[in-house]
Amino acid sequence: NAGVTQTPKFQVLKTGQSMTLQCAQDMNHNSMYWYRQDPGMGLRLIYYSASEGTTDKGEVPNGYNVSRLNKREFSLRLESAAPSQTSVYFCASSSIRSNQPQHFGDGTRLSIL
Amino acid sequence: RKEVEQDPGPFNVPEGATVAFNCTYSNSASQSFFWYRQDCRKEPKLLMSVYSSGNEDGRFTAQLNRASQYISLLIRDSKLSDSATYLCVVNIIGGGSYIPTFGRGTSLIVHP
């Protein structure tokens, strides 16, 4: 019963390094999302993919790129990491129907020095 | 103005108390509504959906008021294990798809 799986769970980077956060879901959901959560800021949407083959910017897309590799997988890339991107990153998925809730992965804790 | 607003709290209540949280949203085209629970440094987990007629799940009751654009969560007979952050989520139509928008969360601390 995997649900939404994120890798890695923890990562420390140096400023300027790049990395890709991976997310996969096994619930046959159409929509997938990437959020970041910072203290006192709540969850903020970075990018989302309403269906396979489409991606759209959310509230805070700058400094990030995404790829919807197939229906199951949605990756988030930091091309040149900055300390301001230190955060907890959550991936989520949901059915395309509006009354369906999201299911979350257990997060990636990313620190950029 | 943030699209989904919540009182951040913390709400500090004794065991057995009844506590209510409110959440307001600004987009009248909002389609669906949820309450999530988030424990410290963990992922958000669905607590309950919120239906127009109101709905109850054990000690938890959710209400929706579309005219005034707010939703509420009532917790009766609070338990120590209810201590968490409660997130209000509103699905808003944007660009032809539904975009979940989160409030910043309300912190609840239940003490003995």
Residue B1 CB neighbour total at 10 angstroms: 5
Shortest Cα–Cα distance, B44 to chain A (Å): 7
| DSSP bridge partners of B74 | B20, B61
Label residues B69-94 b or e (16+ Cβ within 10 Å = b): ebbbbebeebeeebbbbbbbbbbbee
Shortest CB distance from A42 goes to which of B45, B96, B105? B105
Residue A88 CB neighbour total at 10 angstroms: 17
Which tokens in the block code for residue B89? 């989520």
Mutate to test the interface with B, among A99, A103, A108, A109 (most CBs of B within 10 A): A99
Give the per-residue pLDDT at B52.
86
Give the per-residue pLDDT at A17.
96
| pLDDT band for position B96 (cuts 50, 70, 90) | low
Pairing type for strands A19-25 and A74-78 reads: antiparallel
CA atoms within 13 A on the CB side of A77: 7
pLDDT at B98 over 90: no
* Set of chain B residues whose Cβ sits within 8 Å of the Cβ of A109: 41
Residues of chain A scoring pLDDT < 70: 1, 97-98
| DSSP bridge partners of A66 | A76
> pLDDT tens digits for B2-50?
789 998 889 999 999 999 999 999 987 777 899 999 998 799 999 999 9
Tell me what the mean pLDDT of segment B52-68 comes to.
93
pLDDT at B78 over 80: yes
Give the per-residue pLDDT at A55.
94
Q: Are A35 and A65 in contact (CB under 8 A)?
A: no
> pLDDT tens digits for B32-44?
899 999 998 799 9
Shortest CB distance from A102 goes to which of B93, B97, B100? B100
